[in-house]
């Protein structure tokens, strides 16, 4: 995308008369001059002067011949937002129903790719307001504003997707601004289904204490693998999982103490007191309140971490406005040093979620995204992306870490961090080279890390 933008900027610089061409293209669209469609398709597909290509796309939509609409519809999976937007405008206004024309974007197969998810998300975006004014929300068209109320298939789709990892936010936005007389009964029914008792865990039941015994015997990963296969912990499984989690996070705490001491001794610019302040004094009260807010017990892995460890913070924020220590590789600041804040510090996530959901149906609150760390770019004092979080409620033992590249459960996320001596992105060094880090600097970095030694406990 960046290369495309640079090409367009360079083309504008070389084309002195591009504005007159742009005016002519706009006029062809205003006049709906059908003979110009082949030329406009060529400009839309190949013109490197971005404003002219944009005008050609809009002109094609205004002219609206079969050939013009076919050319725009083909852009549904373009890398460019405008290409997808115009394709969706065509699809939503094609002959037949919007569901028949656009609904296939939400097939299981279509949602397995990044391009498919992007197109589906932008399709949902057209069903919610595109702007908000003093007089209220505004939609792209009256037909799109009322589509959910007129066609129950779109209502069912949005209700089904309301907690989808990629599309949930867009689906909830549609439902928030649709007719409540239509959405409320559907959301009430969905809430009743969600509240219904879940099936008991399938598979052979272990004897009480088996998982704890296996864990103590060293089958750490096997035990967590078995726990991870249970989507809904009943009381018996939860009691066992909580004991395993306590044993696990005690070992995590010992690793954190040893690794932090080794990093500080090697010159990493954090202090042991700030890096490991211990569990928050109010952690028990916070965990109980969080369970009440979400209607479900906090997952055992997360609860045990907050009870026994509290905070791990290896981010060298004190160096943001000061020189880095001599001999310590500054490149490690973008290697995602481990940070997990305690529940009290994360509590703003709960408060924001409660405020956001106060004026809407409870089913439109979406998952509670409990933030526990900045993303790797913000940790390096570079504007970055969404923070790392876990989504609650979660009925299993070990929730996924969200918005972090590796797609790991919380316990595996910790394992990955300790395997990298406190750094999560040591496997992304190709990115560093692309952004100017030299191979000599990588060699220096690797040598420094090899000197950091601590006694690691498997967990």
Tell me the pLDDT of the chain (459 aa) as tens digits.
Answer: 444 444 444 444 455 678 999 999 999 999 999 999 999 999 999 988 889 999 999 999 999 999 999 999 999 998 899 999 999 999 999 999 999 999 999 999 999 999 999 999 999 999 999 998 888 899 999 999 999 999 999 999 999 999 998 999 999 999 999 999 999 999 999 999 987 766 665 555 667 679 999 999 999 999 999 999 999 999 999 999 999 999 999 999 999 999 999 999 999 999 999 999 999 999 999 999 999 999 999 999 999 999 999 999 999 999 998 899 999 999 899 899 999 999 999 999 999 999 988 888 989 988 999 999 999 999 999 888 899 999 999 999 999 999 999 999 999 999 999 999 999 999 998 888 877 788 888 999 999 999 999 999 999
- φ and ψ at residue 51, rounded to 5 degrees: -60, -35
Number of residues written out for the chain = 459
pLDDT at 44: 95
C-alpha distances (whole Å) from 129 to each of 12, 142, 145, 182, 258 are: 33, 11, 8, 17, 52
* 8 Å CB contact between 423 and 379: no
pLDDT at 313: 98
pLDDT at 135: 85
For 224-238, b/e burial (b = at least 16 CB within 10 A) is: bebbeebeebeeebb
pLDDT at 200: 60
pLDDT at 158: 98
Q: Provide CATH 1.25.10 ranges for the chain.
A: 2-181
For 247-286, b/e burial (b = at least 16 CB within 10 A) is: bbbebbbbbbbbbbebbbebebbbeeeebbeebbeebeeb
DSSP 400: B
Fold for 2-181, please state it: 1.25.10
pLDDT at 5: 46
pLDDT at 145: 95
pLDDT at 199: 61
Distance of CA 118 to the CA centre of its chain: 13
Q: Give dist(CA 417, CA 415) in Å, integer.
A: 5
Q: Give dist(CA 390, CA 252) in Å, integer.
A: 18
């Amino acid at each position: 995308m960046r290369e495309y933008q640079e090409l367009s900027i360079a083309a504008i610089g070389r084309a002195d008369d591009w504005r007159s061409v742009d005016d002519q293209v706009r006029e062809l669209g205003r006049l709906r001059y059908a003979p110009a469609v082949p030329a406009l398709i060529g400009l839309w597909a190949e013109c490197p002067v971005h404003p002219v290509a944009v005008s050609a796309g809009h002109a094609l939509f205004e002219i609206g011949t079969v050939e013009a609409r076919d050319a725009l519809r083909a852009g549904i999976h373009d890398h460019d937002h405008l290409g997808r937007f115009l394709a969706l405008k065509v699809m939503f206004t094609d002959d037949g129903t919007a569901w028949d024309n656009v609904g296939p974007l939400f097939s299981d197969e279509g949602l397995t790719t990044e391009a498919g998810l992007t197109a589906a998300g932008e399709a949902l975006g057209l069903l919610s307001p595109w702007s908000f004014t003093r007089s209220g929300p505004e939609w792209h068209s009256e037909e799109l504003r009322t589509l959910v109320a007129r066609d129950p298939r779109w209502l069912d789709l949005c209700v089904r997707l309301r907690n989808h990892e990629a599309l949930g936010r867009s689906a909830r936005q549609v439902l928030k601004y649709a007719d409540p007389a239509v959405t409320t009964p559907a959301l009430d029914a969905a809430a009743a289904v969600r509240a219904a008792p879940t099936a008991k865990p399938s598979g052979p039941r272990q004897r009480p204490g088996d998982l704890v015994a296996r864990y103590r015997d060293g089958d750490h990963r096997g035990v967590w693998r078995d726990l991870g296969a249970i989507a809904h912990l009943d009381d018996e499984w939860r009691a066992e999982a909580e004991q395993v989690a306590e044993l696990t996070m005690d070992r995590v705490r010992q690793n954190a103490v040893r690794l932090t001491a080794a990093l500080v001794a090697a010159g990493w610019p954090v202090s042991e007191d700030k890096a490991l302040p211990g569990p928050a004094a109010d952690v028990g009260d916070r965990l109980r309140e969080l369970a009440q807010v979400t209607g479900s017990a906090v997952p055992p892995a997360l609860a045990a971490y907050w009870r026994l460890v509290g905070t791990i913070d290896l981010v060298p924020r004190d160096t943001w406005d000061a020189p880095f220590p001599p001999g310590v590789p500054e490149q490690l600041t973008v290697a995602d040093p481990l940070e997990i804040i305690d529940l009290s510090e994360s509590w703003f996530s709960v408060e924001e979620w409660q405020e956001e959901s106060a004026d809407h149906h409870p089913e439109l609150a979406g998952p509670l995204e409990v933030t526990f760390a900045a993303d790797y770019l913000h940790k390096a004092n570079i504007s970055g992306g969404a923070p790392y979080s876990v989504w609650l409620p979660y009925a299993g033992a070990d929730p996924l870490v969200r918005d972090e590249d590796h797609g790991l459960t919380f316990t595996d996320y910790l394992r990955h961090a300790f395997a990298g001596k406190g750094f999560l992105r040591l496997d992304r060094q190709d990115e560093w080279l692309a952004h100017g880090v030299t191979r000599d600097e990588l060699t220096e970095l690797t040598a420094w890390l090899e000197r950091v030694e601590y006694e690691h406990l498997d967990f």
